[in-house]
Structure 1
Amino acid sequence: MNTMSLPRSVVYLWIGLISALALMVLTGAGGEAPIGRYQMEIVSRNNFADIFVMDTTTGVVKYVGKDEGKPFEQIQGK
């Protein structure tokens, strides 16, 4: 009886590809914004960078000084 076998390199290649795919699926590698977390936004105006910390659930700025508590869309164009 003659059996057919694959070379080890092909088997290792498939194991690696399946492992990489499983890792991406399990870790949620995607471009979606996190929900219920904080996100940093940086806006450059007149050679000066403003850094805003936003709550992604409500969309309001959590820490930026006088603009705290306003929606990001209101203060982005200042």
Structure 2
Amino acid sequence: MEGEIAHIGAGLAGLGCGLAALGVGNVAANYLSGALRNPSAAASQTATLFIGIAFAEALGIFSFLVALLLMFAV
């Protein structure tokens, strides 16, 4: 019974990977929207783009790690 509950929890934690992908898409879409409105300022915002993508992707990696721990450590 405990293993089944851990697998359900791992599935729910795995949803974080998909939500992180949506977050990365949102960051990139907002950057492109701003770059198309003001192309001269786009070059100065590239570092902010990569920082935002890194933070969003890190949350996905953490949720993947939690899912793996729930599946194999319990």
Q: Is the structural similarity TM-score above 0.5?
A: no
Which of the pair has the greater relative contact order for Cα pairs under 8 Å at 6+ separation? 2
Larger of the two Rg values belongs to structure: 1
Q: Which has the higher helix share?
A: 2
Provide the TM-score with structure 2 as the length reference: 0.34
Provide the TM-score with structure 1 as the length reference: 0.33
Q: Which has the higher strand share?
A: 1
